[in-house]
Structure 1
Amino acid sequence: MSKHLMKTLEEAVQEQEAARQKGAVRRNRTDSALQSGALLESTGLTAGDAFSELGDLLLDGLSAGQGAPG
């Protein structure tokens, strides 16, 4: 394998790792907001309402992924 190709592959792996770490930071912030209740408070929903909404979103996403009409 050429040195140029190896360098390109190494750069791609580094970019992918950086993106993964950035995503982990976002997930941690979201998890913190969920666990603290701050995210729920800002919506005005009860915990039960939010759970129901998430279930609906999940079902819609799964249906869309299967090509079924939503």
Structure 2
Amino acid sequence: MSYGIKIRVWGDYALFTRPEMKVERVSYDVMTPSAARGILEAIYWKPAIRWVIDCIHVLKPVRFENIRRNELANRVS
């Protein structure tokens, strides 16, 4: 037997990194199903429960912002 659950997730900044962009951090437009599953597991994890994401709804327009960061650990000599 399965039950449905709905949650609202929000934040000022979110980054769902695209795997094909290794060097530059480029985000998907919306949350990925694996990220949604990770949020559900962070809220309520139990070995007997397997979360399945059916759909993701976007309630507000998606806004993008460019943030420049230097993510190099060491300088090149």
Normalising to structure 2: TM-score of the pair? 0.25
Q: Flag the structure with more relative contact order, 1 or 2, with Cα contacts below 8 A and sequence separation at least 6.
A: 2
Structure having the larger proportion of residues in helix: 1
Bigger Cα Rg:
1
